[in-house]
């Protein structure tokens, strides 16, 4: 009986890393040993897979929350707060074009080259 409980606990704790196939193998082993009834095997597999998926999602949420909290404490800029590379290029190009026009240094072909 203690072996069954230990296997169940280990299986439950490690479920989020188990594939359905691995869970089926373990349950089949329990059925072959007579520790689980064959009629209950399918339900047990489905329950364990569901628990594994739930644990996986809970773990992902916990990790996301911890990372978000750590980043918030570091006062880092978020992606949406930063200018994108293309936006920066456009701003620099526009500013450079304005400066060159004011200084009358650039020719039309120079200015056309900046637009690319």
HEC readout, 42-64: HHHHHHHHHHHHHHHHHHHHHHH
pTM of the model: 0.47
**What residue numbers bound the domain in which 29 lies?**
2-73
pLDDT at 65 exceeding the cut of 70: yes
DSSP state of 77: P
Task: Based on the fold, state whether residues 59 and 31 are members of the same structural domain.
Answer: yes
106 within some domain: yes
Identify the pLDDT of residue 1: 42
Q: H/E element holding 107?
A: none
> Which pLDDT tens digit goes with each residue over 73-110?
887 777 777 777 788 888 998 998 888 877 776 566 66
Q: How many domains are contained in the chain? A: 2
| Residues 47 and 96 placed together within one structural domain of the fold | no
Q: Is residue 35 part of a domain?
A: yes
Half-sphere CA count of 109, side-chain side, radius 13 A: 0
**Any domain includes 78:** no
Measured distance CA(83)–CA(56) in Å, rounded: 34
Residue 23 lies in a domain: yes
CB 11 within 8 A of CB 35: no
pLDDT of 110: 61
**CB count in 10 Å sphere of residue 111:** 14
């Amino acid at each position: 009986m203690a072996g069954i409980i230990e296997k169940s606990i280990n299986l439950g704790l490690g479920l989020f890393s188990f594939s359905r196939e691995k869970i089926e193998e373990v349950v089949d082993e329990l059925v072959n040993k007579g520790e689980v009834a064959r009629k209950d095997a399918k339900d047990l597999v489905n329950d364990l897979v569901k628990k594994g998926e739930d644990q996986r999602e809970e773990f992902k949420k916990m990790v996301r929350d911890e990372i978000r909290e750590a980043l918030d404490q570091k006062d880092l800029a978020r992606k949406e707060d930063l200018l994108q590379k293309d936006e920066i290029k456009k701003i620099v190009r526009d500013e450079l074009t304005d400066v060159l026009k004011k200084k009358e240094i650039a020719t039309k072909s120079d200015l056309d080259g900046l637009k690319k």
